Structure 1
Amino acid sequence: MPVGPLAGFTVGVTADRRADEQIKLLTGRGAECLHGPVIKTHALGSEDQIRVATEQILRNPPELVVLTTGLGVRGWLEAADAIQLGDELRVLLASVDLYARGPKATGALATADLDVAWIAPRARYDDIIDTLHERGIDGVRIAVQLDGAGANGLCDRLDEMGADVVRVPVYRWSLPGDTAAAERLIRATVERRVDALTFTAKPAVENYLEIAGFLGLADEVADALATDVVAFCVGPVCATGFTDDDIATPLVPEKHRLGAMVQQIARHFGTRGQDVELAGTHVRLQGRLMVFEDCGQAWLTDRERSILDVLLERPGVVRSKRELLQRVWHGSESDEHLVEVTVARLRQRLGTASDGIETVIRRGYRASAQ
């Protein structure tokens, strides 16, 4: 029997940080994973930008501090410890209002025994801007822990509202130096060899789409995400990488955490299983996995599963080789012999249920329960 709700499904993982943890959670639920990191996280040296920014706010303390990411909070405190400023920084942070953008930054602050004055309800910079606008920040000194993309939109808006903004860089994001694995994942998306993609940061979404553009596959990726491949984003900010350009509508867990996203993936695909009768044999279809009533199992290729899906849409209805070629190969092939070979392999995998795929001479194929 399937070992988990994701058995038979393949999930593409785009993260670099915590990718091993994510893959372990997914494979523990039965998934196959294809790792194609589309983003690289670079820690900034503790002796340069972080030292300058930390010393600046220690000499002239801000009235409030905005913390944007859990990674940034942890990285800032660790870097401050490395330059012997950690104790002073913690005393300062305990004495001012701390504004957190979402649960990750909040969790990192709680771990450091620091109280949060306010949490952005949707984990978006717009929430922070609206709240600070209502508060009034003209002339107010504010320190902002930057995210990997620089949080430039947030800082620029605070500057426009008259705040004295101190930028605290901790890390930055970039494209990977080697994009080969990301390119393999993008091609797998276009070819529908993955059922889902996971994203844990908006720049990862942007990089994924940028690399797809480099490959000339932007339209094909958009089509896959609109039809067969489900995108999952860890939070609403991450999801705007798709929704701002109307490329896809990703699924986002209520709790914006990695574990919650994995649970959401398991729930989503846990409902995708299909029970069918083929030639009097009960077969459970789950992704690319078939489980027979005698508890035997067989794995289908993507083409085999796609052909079976088309035949099972309307059991008993004949599907021509030309239609199957168009539906399964999406117009990339014209040789109907490919359909014959794929159906033959499918029958081999079906074993005793193989008679459920019938050949109708000069017309095509159909699925039969009898």
Structure 2
Amino acid sequence: MTNSAAPAAPEPGGHGFVDAAFTEVLAGARVLITAQRRAEDLAAALKRRGAHTVIASSMGVEHHIDEAGLLGRTRDLLDSPPDAVVVTTGIGLRAWLDAADTAGLSEALAQMLTTTCTIARGPKALGALRGAGAEAAWVSPLASSYEILDHLLDAGVEGKHIVIQCHGAGDDGLSEALCEAGARVTPLTVYRWGPPPDPDAVTNSIDELRAARFDAVAFTSSPGSAAWVRSLSSARALEDVREQNLAGRLVLAAVGQVAAKPLVDAGFDVGHPDRGRMGALVRHISARVTESALTCTIPGGLLRVHATDAALGQRALGLSPGGLAVARLLASRPGQTISREQILHVLPGDSTDPHAAEVAIARLREALASPASIRTVVRKGYRLIDAG
């Protein structure tokens, strides 16, 4: 499991400086990334907004299952181009082009794609086609194989030669249905979904999910979402995590409707952006985590309490578990007096010494760098000043 702490914000005028109000909206938040491909890119984008990230890929990718067979079929297609090519995934098309490149066929394959009717199953497949210099004749709006089947059947496929670049779990029955309609189908298996590359990372992430140590979980593919649900179920953590999610304490965010579906089917509340792009997913996570955080306005600024830390304005406070528990208690009752006994109750351990509560408050004041935000109420306790 890869842990990535949020980097320090660049100084104004320095290289890469961006307005902090834009970049640090996730300061203090912790996000679990379940993807494998481009996981580091997603983590970097979230870190630029201040998040701490953990990568625990729920499944892996096995490339070039039968490279010799794939190259043989590629040569056949170049010699006798098909009537249509169905591109189901961006990763699959790019892997096909990479495999073709090892045999010196990538340029010819890209050229064939520009002159053949191509159909893309959603924005990722379309992006890969455009990256190869081709344009799709039709794009499935919902990134659905069933939409593609309906489109092809409406157009008529009898006697047509159709190539299907299969996704990691097959082709959703496209080949069989098209063959029954009279088409000649060539399925291309470029990669398959496999087990997680780091099973221990998945196990550790589930333990941390049980302990409510994440603010959000990000998903980028339907198979990955389904594998995550299976992992939770196998670990008997499904109910615990779902309860956090439905209570609004854990945000689940998918890149699109297709990636969200296995989670919705498992009873989770899942959000997704309107556009299936990584940037849109990052913005969506930022908005949802901000909405779900416990917040209050104090003299030092906006205090946001997250799963494992808190932030004041754009600054993560780096609180200990005890300090975070006290911050959460005070922020849940701004303007109200909290007794030392109540503070001792939320601190780790079983101390009954009032001095322990005083020390915890002193450390929280220091972290806030705003002593006036917490007022001592003589003989009664402490009060977080509500400046809202």
For residues 87-126 of structure 1, the aligned pairs below 5 Å read: 87-126=107-146
* Corresponding residue number in structure 2 for 1:369: 385
For residues 349-360 of structure 1, the aligned pairs below 5 Å read: 349-351=363-365, 352=371, 356=375
Distance 1:359 1:166 in 2: 80
Which runs of 5 or more residues in structure 2 are unaligned? 1-19, 366-370
Q: Would the aligned equivalents of 1:304 and 1:345 in 2 still touch at CA under 8 Å?
A: no
TM-score by length of 2: 0.78
For residues 1-370 of structure 1, the aligned pairs below 5 Å read: 4-44=24-64, 47-58=67-78, 60-227=80-247, 228-243=249-264, 245-271=265-291, 272=293, 274-277=295-298, 281-282=299-300, 284-286=302-304, 287=306, 288-291=309-312, 298-301=317-320, 304-305=323-324, 308-315=327-334, 316=336, 337=351, 346-351=360-365, 352=371, 356=375, 367-369=383-385
Q: Give the SS at the match of 1:193.
A: coil
Structure 1 pair 163–240 and aligned structure 2 pair: CA distance change class (3 A): farther
Deviation readout 1:245-290 (Å, 9 max, x if unpaired): 242132212221112211222233345573334xxx5453123224
Deviation readout 1:140-179 (Å, 9 max, x if unpaired): 3211111122223443443454433211111111122531
Distance 2:327 2:49 in 1: 25
Q: Would the aligned equivalents of 2:27 and 2:311 in 1 still touch at CA under 8 Å?
A: no
Structure 1 pair 296–16 and aligned structure 2 pair: CA distance change class (3 A): closer
Deviant stretches of 4+, over 6 Å:
317-325, 338-342, 357-361
Deviates further, 348-357 or 58-67: 348-357
Distance 2:72 2:251 in 1: 43
Distance 2:154 2:355 in 1: 67
Q: Give the SS at the match of 1:284.
A: strand
Structure 1 pair 203–319 and aligned structure 2 pair: CA distance change class (3 A): farther
Structure 1 pair 336–133 and aligned structure 2 pair: CA distance change class (3 A): farther
RMSD: 3.5
Distance 2:161 2:355 in 1: 70
Counterpart residue type for residue 203 of structure 2: E
Q: Would the aligned equivalents of 2:251 and 2:289 in 1 still touch at CA under 8 Å?
A: no
Distance 2:173 2:218 in 1: 25
Deviation readout 1:217-237 (Å, 9 max, x if unpaired): 121122222221111111221
Aligned length: 355
Q: Would the aligned equivalents of 1:283 and 1:290 in 2 still touch at CA under 8 Å?
A: no
Q: Give the SS at the match of 1:78.
A: helix
Q: Give the SS at the match of 1:186.
A: helix
Distance 1:219 1:124 in 2: 29
Distance 2:322 2:148 in 1: 48
Which runs of 5 or more residues in structure 1 are unaligned? none
Deviates further, 110-119 or 4-13: 110-119
Distance 1:324 1:78 in 2: 60
Counterpart residue type for residue 142 of structure 1: I
